[in-house]
Amino acid sequence: MNGTTPAADGRRDRVVVVTGAGRGLGRAHALAFAAEGARVVVNDLGTALDGWGRADGPDGPAHTVAEEIRAAGGDAVAHTGDIATEEGAASLVATALDTYGRLDTLVNNAGFLRDRMLVNLTGDDWDAVLRVHAKGHFLTLRQAAAYWRTLAKEGRPAAARVVNTTSGAGLLGGVGQGNYAAAKAAVVALTLVAAAELAPYGVQVNAIAPAARTRMTEGTFAGLTARPDEVSPLVVWLGSADSAGVTGRVFEAEAGRVTVMEGWHPGPTATAPGPGPGWTPATVGPAARALLTRATEPRPVYGARPPAP
């Protein structure tokens, strides 16, 4: 590994990787990090909204955003590898290390949609969306974590940060988005596990559930007007050493509002009557119904029809 010293505290001079940074939220994050003095690796394949096609040439979105940063006086390099492959994820981290000598922050943002109702959802649609969101997060995180673990074993732990991207669909579900919701729920679970496992190496791992109008959301949430750059300040803070002590959290972020999301917690509980064999189908049903009367009603799935009056 490179022998340079990890980044100092704060936001300036950090080396940041942002996946899916050619458009929308990723582009906004990359520009925001650069504006704070970070050096940015801009990753993007340049695919269409549904993941088809590729625009990874010099006129593609990754190169365009990197040039935009450089034109504003910042420092950026483009990376056009597929982060949902072993080779692409490895080359992404290698680009940061070869270009800037270290990696301080990983922002996992790349993704696309193939929305279908469950009865129309194909296996290919399922696999493609799970691949880019869940596997893409995992592979880049694993590559970055290996580098940070090596630093820690050398006695030079980094103030490293990972910001993953989930969604309201991953927290509550989304009608017509079974594949996307499952992938984004997986991102939350991965975030919690990674935060626990990587803490000894000086790595903090958090997730955001952003709400902003991008090409991914405009078809699903036509009335959404929040801009991508209104989400980026939270991402920059989470990706900096200023966020010391914050890990294993999920934040919902939209225009002017940040919310700490709270996941599954034990609710009302019942114990099987005894002595005896414990629950039976005849006794557990009434007990479960009684518990539900004391439980908090779940928030509705996005896009679900309201119950009939």
- Whether residue 8 has pLDDT greater than 50: no
15-261: CATH, from 1.20.1440.20, 3.20.20.70, 3.40.50.150, 3.40.50.720: 3.40.50.720
232: annotated active-site residue:
no
Residue with tokens 């096609």: 53
* pLDDT value, residue 274: 82
Q: How far apart are CA 169 and CA 172, in angstroms?
A: 5
| Distances in whole angstroms, Cα of residue 37 to Cα of each of 31, 148, 208, 220 | 10, 22, 22, 35
Query: pLDDT tens digit string along 235-283?
Result: 999 999 999 999 999 999 987 899 999 999 999 999 998 877 799 999 9
* pLDDT value, residue 12: 75
Catalytic residue among 91, 167, 232, 243: 167
Burial (CB count <10 Å: 0-12, 13-18, 19+), residue 157: middle
180: annotated active-site residue:
yes
Catalytic residue among 100, 147, 180, 302: 180
Q: How far apart are CA 289 and CA 87, in angstroms?
A: 51
Rounded to the nearest integer, the mean pLDDT of the chain is 89
Helices (H) and strands (E) in the chain, counts: 9, 8
Name the β-bridge partners of 161: 105, 204
* pLDDT value, residue 213: 53
pTM, full prediction: 0.89
- Whether residue 141 has pLDDT greater than 50: yes
135: annotated active-site residue:
no
Query: pLDDT tens digit string along 193-225?
Result: 999 999 999 999 999 999 855 445 445 545 555
* pLDDT value, residue 225: 58
Which segments of the chain belong to CATH 3.40.50.720? 15-261
